[in-house]
Chains A and B, each alone.
Chain A
Amino acid sequence: MSAPRPPDLPLPARRPRPGTPPRAASACRPLARWAACAALLAGLAAAPPAGLARAAGAPTPADTLPPLLLSQRAARVAGLRAGEVVRVSADPALRTGRWARVAAVLPFKADPVDVGRGTLWVRLHLSDLARLTGRADEADEVILKARDPGQAGRLRDRLNALSGGYRAYTSEELAERTSQTFEVVSRFHRAISLITLAAGAVFLLAILLFKVEERRHELGALRLIGVRRRSLTLFVCAEALAISVLGSLAGLGLGRLAAAAVNAYYQRYYDTTLVFAAVTPAVAWTSLALGAAFGLGTGLAVALRLARVPALKLLGR
């Protein structure tokens, strides 16, 4: 399985033009070699196929032609099926190129980087792609599997010491580097959730305050007949806690429904199988804990405020 492709942002991402030997991957954003072919098909999303065309009278038996794999989306957009013979070219006008056979249409693993881009994926043998693009003996990325995965770091160091033409990374390092975009988006979401929590907290405080205010007479009467302030405070806090926990549970249910709706909509909109929103056990427990904490806190604030008011004043005397 190839290392995760580094995130590529819309405009104007600086993609290097390959030189002759493998170039320093740390200097540029390495692309899997087959990605170059994907760029040929990118135009299919917006215009009639420019780099790929059905064969009109295939010249040779299909099983002798070089094979290519299409992603399901590419096959759908191009209207192709497995077994069909197509002409593939690096020239949008198809003046050059060669015939190839669609060996299979496969569900390529959904990549968050592709969300919104409409990328169409094709896989070719490296030698076939090299012949198509006229760039022989080049690679954007070389993937190694170590006999002993525990020695990956040492292997990386030895490879980096050998030559200046490339840079080696372990899978973890590459994943960390290429996850930076999603890390930033996660932090953004967290910041937004804090602001949303603040709005919710104000709302909860307002509701609790007015709920208690409505029952001033009742609470004043209880104080007059001897119920202690501490008992009333506990009562108000318990009520606030119950309301906030019940509300949090209802909110969790709503959240799950909303997450399902968001996933259904976005998966259809972006034509992907990625999951955009998920209510995990950690999220559920965090929400409940925060709801309970807010409820208890606001209940305590309201109860203490009420406890300072003399009983007769509560009754309106």
Chain B
Amino acid sequence: MIAFLAARNLVRSRTRTLLLWLGISVSGALLYDMVMLAGGLAASFEAAVRDMSFELRLAPRGVLPFTADAALRDGSRVLAVVRSDPRVARALGFYGTTLYWRRPGSAGPLRAAFVMACAEPAPEVFRVAAGRLDAAAVRGGVLINRHLARAAGVGVGDTLEIAAPPDAQVQRQAREVRLPVAAVGDFRFDTATQNSCMLPTELAQALRGVRAEDPLSLVTVRLRRPADAPAVARDLRARLPQAEVYQVQDLVRKVRAQLSYFTQFSAILGALSFAVAWLLISTLLVLSLNDRLGEMAVLGAIGLRPARLVALMLTESLAFVAIGVPSGLLLGLATARYLDRLLLRGPGLPADLHFFVATPAATAETVALLALAGALGALGPMRRVARLPIAATLHEAAP
């Protein structure tokens, strides 16, 4: 009977129901977006990092990978120390720097590219679209991303000139090599407009004139048993005091700290959306009840206990929420896509990360919050019907 009365009230006033549906949809969409934003980038980053299947990462002490000029000196020795641990299945060293490129014979200026140098094939970092990724390709050629391939107008098999920074005083570049393009593909965490390539580590260091220092920007480690990560991290920290050893959760925690602005912002706006939803439901329920006090008194007079009347108010409120939730979630997903594209236009943001990530947890949290708003919105009307003086109300409502 409660469900019947609640459903009947929904269809009784179409205008009211329509407005309520609109209001819950819009505030629900905003709430959903804020819940997604609160953890979206961190979730996206964590998924990308875990997808690479490296449990540990070593960077120079005090910095996150690729965020400063600092490097791990004597990189070969660092790698040897890491690989000497029997729990380590695979370890790769990367040297990040900037070099310049040009098509051979081109009269155009040298243009910059980010270089991720590695001595071995790294399919975890470079996804091949054309060409091959094997030891010969890594040693004898250059791997480039699609943006660089388009900018240079080269494909697999073509030649690219790679040069060290030009010497302004003598007006010529210091060192240059010509390399065949072995593969074209995508690097993890590249920005949308970034020119990137991969060279052998020794060559990149030689071009930069730092071969003697043998620097590495990052060492990635895959373990035979992922569960050994904390123990291996502890041992590596002791053996390599110049390195910062990060487990995946350490990186995610650091990223969350740096993205705390969005988390805080989403919390504030999420609270605002919640308040709007609560106020809307509360106001419409109160207005609806004002029109139906006589009806409530009649229901009480024919035997419905106050607890049932209270349950009726709560059911109506949750029914209001229920009609708005599906459209609110859909609208939230649509606006999230737009907002995500908007934010990803920011410079320096990796193209494969997202601010808004629709996880089952985010969806469940939004539905739960809207239900809570509905329940809180019904508190006033529930209290009123619980204390309704039936006889007096019937007398007032009589025509």
Contact surface of A with B, Cβ cutoff 8 Å: 7-24, 26-29, 31, 36, 39-44, 46-47, 50-51, 90-93, 115-118, 163-166, 180-181, 184-185, 187-188, 191-192, 195-196, 198-200, 202-203, 205-207, 209-210, 214, 262, 266, 269
B197 shortest CB reach to chain A, Å: 12
Are A43 and B347 in contact, with the CB atoms below 8 A? no
What is the CB-to-nearest-CB distance from B157 to chain A, in angstroms, rounded to a whole number?
26
Question: Besides A39-B69, A164-B166, A185-B346, 13 other CB < 8 A contacts?
Answer: A7-B348, A10-B67, A19-B174, A21-B168, A39-B62, A46-B62, A90-B70, A93-B241, A93-B242, A165-B168, A195-B30, A206-B23, A209-B19
Interface residue ranges of B317-336 to A (CB < 8 Å)? 335
Identify which of B227-235, B257-265, B367-375 touches chain A: B257-265
| Contact partner, A43, options B63, B100, B164, B342, Cβ 8 Å | B63
Is the CB–CB distance between A92 and B241 below 8 Å? yes
Which single member of A8, A17, A46 contacts B67 (CB below 8 Å)?
Answer: A8
Chain A residue with minimal CB distance to B169?
A21
- B61 in contact with A92 (CB, 8 Å): yes
- Complex contacts, A19 vs chain B, CB 8 Å: 164-165, 174, 208-209
Bound: A164/B16 CA distance, A: 69
Q: Which of A16, A41, A163, A187 contacts B168 (CB 8 A)?
A: A163
Q: Is the CB of B164 within 8 A of A10?
A: no
Structural contact, B276 and A165, CB atoms closer than 8 A = no
CA gap between A20 and B173 in the complex, in Å: 11
Chain A contact residues: over half helix, strand or loop, or mixed? loop
| Contact of A209 with B209 in the complex, beta carbons under 8 Å | no
Given contacts A164-B109, A195-B335, contact A12 B165 (CB under 8 A): no
CA distance A19 to B327 in the complex (A): 56
Cα distance A114–B1 in the bound complex, in angstroms? 60
Chain A contacts for B287, CB-based, 8 A: 210, 214
Cβ B27 vs Cβ A199 within 8 A:
yes
Which of A22, A23, A191 is within 8 Å of B338, CB to CB? A191
- Contact check, B241 vs A207: say whether CB atoms are below 8 A apart: no
**List of B residues within 8 angstroms of A92 by Cβ:** 60-62, 241-242
| Beta-carbon contact of A17 and B69 below 8 Å | yes
Among residues of A, the one whose C-beta sits closest to the C-beta of B95 is A17
Contact segment of B140-148, B278-286, B297-305: B278-286
B96–A17 touching, CB < 8 Å: yes
**Residue of A with least CB distance to B353:** A11
B339 CB contact (under 8 Å) in A11, A29, A115, A188: A188
Say whether A11 contacts B255, CB under 8 Å. Answer: yes
Chain A residues within 8 Å of B112, by CB: 16, 24, 26-28
Q: Are B63 and A165 in contact (CB under 8 A)?
A: no
CB of B284 within 8 A of CB of A17, answer no
User: Chain B nearest CB: distance from A105 CB in Å?
Assistant: 21
Contact present for B62 and A10 (CB under 8 Å):
no
Shortest distance from the beta carbon of A77 to any chain B beta carbon, whole Å = 12
Which B residues contact A (CB, under 8 angstroms)? Answer: 15-16, 19-20, 22-23, 26-27, 29-30, 33, 45, 60-71, 96-98, 100, 109-112, 114, 164-169, 171, 174, 189, 194, 208-210, 215, 241-242, 244, 251, 254-255, 257-261, 264, 268-269, 272-273, 276, 279-280, 283-284, 287, 290, 335, 338-339, 342-343, 345-350
Known: A184-B343, A206-B23, A262-B268. A28 touches B168 (CB 8 A): no
Task: Given A12-B65, A13-B66, A92-B241, answer yes or no on A27-B98 (Cβ-Cβ < 8 Å).
Answer: yes
How far apart sit A192 and B16, CA to CA, in the bound complex (Å)?
26
Contact assessment for B97 and A17 in the assembled complex, using a CB-CB cutoff below 8 Å? yes
CA distance A95 to B337 in the complex (A): 51
Cα–Cα, bound, A214→B62 (Å): 66
Interface hub of A31, A115, A180, A206 (most chain B Cβ within 10 A): A206
Determine the chain B residues whose CB is within 8 A of the CB of A46 once the complex forms. Answer: 62
Contacts of A90 in B (CB 8 A): 70
In the complex the two chains form, is A36's CB within 8 Å of B167's CB? no
Structural contact, B165 and A23, CB atoms closer than 8 A: yes
Alpha-carbon distance A10/B257, docked complex (angstroms): 10
Residues A181 and B346 in contact, CB atoms below 8 Å apart: yes
Which of B26, B98, B268 is the one whose CB lies under 8 Å from A14? B98
Q: How far is the CB of A54 from chain B (nearest CB, A)?
A: 18
Most A Cβ at <10 Å: residue of B65, B68, B283, B284: B68
Question: Once the chains are docked, how many angstroms separate the CA of A184 from the CA of B343?
Answer: 6
Contact pick for B166, options A44, A165, A192, A206, CB 8 Å: A165
Return chain B residues, CB-CB under 8 Å to A188.
339, 342-343
> A17, B279: Cβ atoms under 8 Å?
no
In the complex, chain A residues whose CB is within 8 Å of the CB of B268: 262
- Contact status B98-A28, CB under 8 Å: yes
Residues A40 and B257 in contact, CB atoms below 8 Å apart: no
24 contacts between A and B (CB under 8 A): A9-B346, A11-B64, A11-B255, A14-B98, A14-B114, A24-B110, A27-B111, A41-B62, A43-B244, A90-B70, A92-B62, A92-B242, A116-B260, A163-B171, A164-B168, A184-B342, A185-B346, A198-B26, A199-B26, A202-B19, A202-B26, A206-B280, A209-B15, A210-B284
